[in-house]
Amino acid sequence: MTSTLIIVFREVLEMALVISIVLAATRELSASRRWIAAGAVAGLAGAVVVAGLAGAIAAAVAGMGQEIFNAAVLFLAAGLLAWTVVWMRRHGRELSAHVQSVGRSVADGGLPRMTLAMIVGLAVLREGSEVVLFLYGVVAAGQEDAASMLFGGALGLFSAGLLSAVAYAGLVRIPHKHLFGVTSWLLTLLAAGMTAQATHYLVMVDVLPALGQPVWDSSHLLPESGVIGQLLHALIGYDDRPSGMQVISFAAMLVTVMMLSRRINGAPKRPVRAVAGIFLAGALMLGDVDPAQAKKVYSPVVERGEVEIEYLLDVAFDGDPAVDGSAKHQFAVEYAVTDRWATEVYGVFTRKPGKGFQYDRFKWANIYQLFEQGEHWLDSGFYLEYQIPDAAQQKPDLLEFKLLLEKEMGRLVHTGNLIFKKELGVLATKSTKLGYAWRSKWRWMREFEPGFEAYGTMGELGNADSLSRQSHIIGPVISGKLFRHFEYELGYLFGLTQGAADGNLKLVFACEF
């Protein structure tokens, strides 16, 4: 009985919460109830069909069919939910102000009713098929008799339905002027949670890299198997042992929905602070996973009086266990003293595979802008940094010089750094190391600027290493500014040579004043 109760409670709770939130969000829209009901019936019928084809689905795609099928359903449902949220942000104020008079016209002209049926149908399809499959497994294993399964299933169904009814009753009590704001946020969290769950399935079958597994372990504080854990799993895709890719996909969906909502209708900016906080929290969580050097491309442009607090994370992923999971954190404070000169101090912390988190070094950096921005066809400056490693490491001090170059071409901005490194002190070598950093980005909108970055080290100046020993990486990076003061960069860079890690996750989060 216990197995059946847990299975039915968990799966029914997920589908019922989706239906409850969609019902509350669209209760004033014309004919929404009929389409939601039709979607539920179609989803239930589809669940029976999918359960009947379970063997063929599971055997497809080299035995990964079930996971890929689940991921596809979740991604599609998340996309439809995201579209619904954007539509609600656009029409919510109008609906809440004139529910009786314009509800029908807005519904008829904006959100296709079929979308509601598809969202509900997909939720019922996935959860319903899993209920059928799990119960079939229980019967096949002979773990419970028919009476126990019937009682456990009924109890699980009643419990999940009761919780969902309570959630719906609470939602419908919200005043109309706040209803669309609350329900749109709940739908956004549902979409982000579904995206994270879909990502989990693809990580399970190695279609996507895990990027750290697990990022954290909260099973002893809030187990996913508990009632509260199951509720959070249904609402926001909570996982007590998530991978880095799940965390990133969750945050990416939140940022995408927020960005589209603001782009379309100028939605209030306050929620963006929460998104920025999620990025920072995600960064600190990923830092517990464990790269060689923090990766950032520096611009020569200085803005007088600007103060910036910055966090940089770099995580390496590789088939070599001595490299895989190594990480570097950098915490920095920068102040632009004049129109041309900015100074910055760093605290650097590292974690190596199998070892603890430890202080690594102190850095003092200075940027000097050579000319006024736009005065010449190419903006330029230089960067000078002095590094003092922790005495326990018995490593030499390091002097780093960078030539900073930048060119704006409409919305396209190219930034390049030519890097020279020289060791100083008793333990220093006499050689000078040569490297580079490059960024090209498209200023599409303030919150979202897609582009790519590349980094490389060639070895000694005048005596470069063989190509196999050099380190060269390249990959997509997105960046932008959230609210007024928060900036972010998030990217995944792929190793091109044997001397580089297979993959590098980079994240930069800054707050400027």
Residue 301 tokens read as 């442009």
pLDDT at 274 over 50: no
Mean pLDDT of 311-333: 86
pLDDT at 335 over 50: yes
Round to whole Å and give the CA distance between 494 and 503. 5
Multiple choice CATH, 2-268, 1.20.1250, 3.40.50, 1.20.1280, 1.10.3470: 1.20.1250
pLDDT at 334 over 80: yes
Band of residue 457 on the pLDDT scale cut at 50, 70, 90: very high
User: Which pLDDT belongs to residue 290?
Assistant: 36
Pairing of strands 358-369, 379-389: antiparallel
Mean pLDDT of 392-405: 90
Round to whole Å and give the CA distance between 238 and 229. 7
pLDDT at 70 over 60: yes
- Say if 2-268 and 291-512 have the same CATH topology: no
pLDDT at 385 over 70: yes
Q: What is the DSSP letter of 98?
A: S
| Nearest to 404, CA basis, from 376, 377, 433, 370 | 370
User: Which pLDDT belongs to residue 287?
Assistant: 38
pTM above 0.75, yes or no: no
Band of residue 92 on the pLDDT scale cut at 50, 70, 90: low
User: Which pLDDT belongs to residue 89?
Assistant: 63
Task: Please state whether the peptide bond connecting residue 214 to the residue before it is cis, i.e. omega within 30 degrees of 0.
Answer: yes
pLDDT at 280 over 70: no
Q: What is the CA radius of gyration of the chain?
A: 27
Under a CB-based contact definition with an 8 Å cutoff, are residues 441 and 450 in contact?
Answer: yes
Q: Which residues pair with 389 in a beta bridge?
A: 361
Q: Where are the domains of the chain?
A: 2-268, 291-512
For 147, other C-beta atoms within 10 Å of its C-beta total: 9
Round to whole Å and give the CA distance between 164 and 167. 5
User: Which pLDDT belongs to residue 139?
Assistant: 58
**Residues making up the chain, counted from first to last:** 513
Burial code of 115-139, b = ≥16 C-beta within 10 A, e = fewer? bbbbbbbbbbbbbbbbbbbbbeebe
Mean pLDDT of 380-389: 94
Q: Which residues pair with 85 in a beta bridge?
A: none
Give me the chain's average pLDDT, please: 75
Lowest mean pLDDT among 37-46, 62-71, 403-412, 446-455: 62-71
Mean pLDDT of 164-168: 65
Q: Which fold has domain 291-512?
A: Porin (2.40.160)
Mean pLDDT of 471-491: 89
Which amino acid, 371?
F
Q: What is the DSSP letter of 219?
A: T
User: Which pLDDT belongs to residue 427?
Assistant: 81
Lowest mean pLDDT among 192-201, 334-343, 361-370, 436-445: 192-201
pLDDT at 159 over 80: no
pLDDT at 373 over 80: yes
Lowest mean pLDDT among 41-50, 257-266, 451-460, 472-481: 257-266
Under a CB-based contact definition with an 8 Å cutoff, are residues 310 and 508 in contact?
Answer: yes
SS3 state at 290: coil
Q: For residues 433 and 31, which has the higher predicted lDDT (pLDDT)?
A: 433
Mean pLDDT of 124-136: 63
